[in-house]
Structure 1
């Protein structure tokens, strides 16, 4: 019987979403601009032999009409390849994942638009009172690493957590693991999740950190995402309903609010996530879905506007990908995609509205072009087809074209 492996290269957009201009992102191109930055640097062009064989450069060229620097002589793909545009409004992690799993968000998430004095007073007052806090710091739009460096010492001295957001539908709370307490931070984020109900905010993110003013503050791997549950059954629910197992690696379980998740394997850092994915596949039975989000592409390199670091991380991922390909068995389907863009050369530090790649490979699966898809939901519908599940509510199966 069949199994499926879904890897989300978080934020690896391939440019040119049809409606990018409406988001201020016309011209954003995560993969293309990373390739260009690497080719222009002393380190030289990107080296991605496995992702190239799977059709990533061709997916980018299909989306943008341009060949990325260093990929002018890319060989013909040995996999199924194409690109997808998101139908849901926004450029959020939950909406991108949910649509990829067959649920198109019809009602946009709420956002906090004011860049300063950002959050409604009633929300902060309730958070402070019910969280027994001396107050909060931040209350603005900010880059997480910048605001941690700027307010970390004041946070430690005052006991006030750092509360901030971005252009996405999110409320983030940063606090020191020892001085404030990791458990207390997680409880505070759960309280914030409850209090945010009137504003329809997609996620609350706990951002724990350690360190001091002298040596610097550093995020830890204990991040947690508290997402709204999907508004309808997803691919994950369909797998479970058919008595299959869904093994969620990394933050996948958080993104789906644990809905449709049979078992979760926590891991932090791309190597640990890759190891956990291999472990999950070794344990997965017939009808299983293994889903992994490789978050560092987004959080470590995209948001921090580090194109060369992003390129090096892609090369490292590419070097490990053959380990997964080597253990695929007959009946397995491997699908690679992304949830949005986060162009590290783009102004600001927010996600970018872009098309994303759709790359699929399985033993005996003939390579072909999948074209431009008008919804991320085509991915989930294709996996549902492969696993023999009933059709999902949205999407056109990329295996049935």
Structure 2
């Protein structure tokens, strides 16, 4: 049996990338700073299973420092290393596409911050066309914001006016939040579909529907998020596998990130625990030669962007505790890969992604034991390694990390 399972620990960076100065991220280190915070607060980060796979060694290769208080094994069980990104942005689609062999060599359109907090960040002409097309009397927000903060601040006004809440970040994204019942989930999806066709003119990578529920100043986002994403500009490993008649199972927001291209089966879930359970179920049903590709979004959405160091640490320890269950499911010829799509250092100023190295950890019967992969020059080395493992045609970018 020859299958592959990839899990993206969304935003789990290992230290500033070589081009971090271009992004204002010199010194960012998601893993390293979480580990430091844990030691300073008397609760060293406990990641024994990730340590077995060589995570501390990967972090040291990327950042030059051992993560504080994290145990390490002299001889890791898997192959371990880190990778720097060549795509021009530090956004979610670019990171995922590059992991699957398709670096993004162009700049997305962005909505820059303004010095005037009352100024609109979205182009007025595009906004008016969108509002007219959707029959909306107006929109709230029109600013850079955290998704949780802005619905707390504007949720009541949204219910009063019926206007959607629109905001962005340092990513190339137009986000639209609306109440699931008062505004309607289908209606939210419809206006986001309309927004994608209009904001494509500004080369915006994603329009994201952000439904929420609640009343009277107390609101929470739900699991019914939907991303309307520009398709990858070239074939990815997912396309190659699907064309070869293989199964490709997308877990979490993977299908959205790839605009459903190259996906044969898709599962979603609310939070990391449910997504881990869905990953196990998909893996148990995955045919020989297939790929299961999962994204665990809580690291980024709940803890990185919200600068919740303790929550991020707890989530890492919860995933570490789940890892033995996953490893027990691997059969002869199977390969597990763990990586990330960018950083989101919860100790860093602001609430945006950080330009960092990401881990490349391989485990399972098909992974070489104790192999030091060093620091790779592109995320695409992951996709190329998987292509070789699954015996499909080589991808256009990346080099194999090892051949078994």
Q: Which category describes the TM-score, using the shorter chain as reference length?
A: over 0.9
Match of 2:145 among 134, 142, 147: 142
Q: Quick one: distance in 1 between partners of 2:59 and 2:72?
A: 14
Q: Quick one: distance in 2 between partners of 1:369 and 1:303?
A: 31
2:53 is aligned with 1:54: yes
* Corresponding residue of 1:201: 204
Q: Quick one: distance in 2 between partners of 1:267 and 1:288?
A: 21
* Corresponding residue of 2:62: 63
* Corresponding residue of 2:263: 261
2:166 is aligned with 1:163: yes
Question: Do the aligned residues in 2 keep the contact of 1:53 with 1:75 (CA within 8 Å)?
Answer: no
Q: Which runs of 5+ in 2 are unaligned?
A: none
TM-score by structure 1 length? Answer: 0.98
Alignment of 1:155-304 (within 5 A): 155-214=158-217, 216-304=218-306
Q: Quick one: distance in 2 between partners of 1:30 and 1:314?
A: 12
* Pairs aligned (count): 399
* Corresponding residue of 1:39: 39
Q: Quick one: distance in 1 between partners of 2:308 and 2:391?
A: 41
* Corresponding residue of 2:6: 6
Residue 196 of structure 1 aligns to a residue whose secondary structure is helix
CA 331–275 in structure 1, closer or farther in 2 if over 3 Å, else same = same
Question: Do the aligned residues in 1 keep the contact of 2:14 with 2:358 (CA within 8 Å)?
Answer: yes
Q: Which runs of 5+ in 1 are unaligned?
A: none
Q: Quick one: distance in 2 between partners of 1:72 and 1:275?
A: 27
Question: Do the aligned residues in 2 keep the contact of 1:14 with 1:64 (CA within 8 Å)?
Answer: yes
Task: State the shift of 1:271 in Å.
Answer: 1.1
Question: Do the aligned residues in 2 keep the contact of 1:338 with 1:356 (CA within 8 Å)?
Answer: yes
Q: Quick one: distance in 2 between partners of 1:365 and 1:35?
A: 27
Q: Map Cα deviations across residues 169-194 of structure 1 (whole Å, 9 max, x no partner).
A: 11100111111111111111111111
Q: Map Cα deviations across residues 112-144 of structure 1 (whole Å, 9 max, x no partner).
A: 113441000111101110111110001111111
CA 73–197 in structure 1, closer or farther in 2 if over 3 Å, else same = closer
* Corresponding residue of 2:343: 341
Q: Quick one: distance in 2 between partners of 1:400 and 1:18?
A: 27
Task: State the shift of 1:74 in Å.
Answer: 4.2
Task: State the shift of 1:220 in Å.
Answer: 0.7
Instruction: Kindly report the root-mean-square deviation, in angstroms, between the aligned alpha carbons of the 2 structures.
Output: 1.2
2:98 is aligned with 1:99: yes
Match of 1:154 among 151, 154, 157: 157
TM-score by structure 2 length? Answer: 0.97
Question: Do the aligned residues in 1 keep the contact of 2:389 with 2:403 (CA within 8 Å)?
Answer: no
Q: Quick one: distance in 2 between partners of 1:51 and 1:190?
A: 40
Question: Do the aligned residues in 2 keep the contact of 1:52 with 1:75 (CA within 8 Å)?
Answer: no
Question: Do the aligned residues in 1 keep the contact of 2:46 with 2:70 (CA within 8 Å)?
Answer: no
Match of 1:125 among 124, 128, 138: 128
Q: Map Cα deviations across residues 24-58 of structure 1 (whole Å, 9 max, x no partner).
A: 0000000001111111114x100011111111111
Q: Quick one: distance in 2 between partners of 1:364 and 1:258?
A: 28
Q: Quick one: distance in 2 between partners of 1:190 and 1:5?
A: 31
Alignment of 1:313-332 (within 5 A): 313-332=315-334
Q: Map Cα deviations across residues 136-177 of structure 1 (whole Å, 9 max, x no partner).
A: 001111111111111110011000100000111111001111
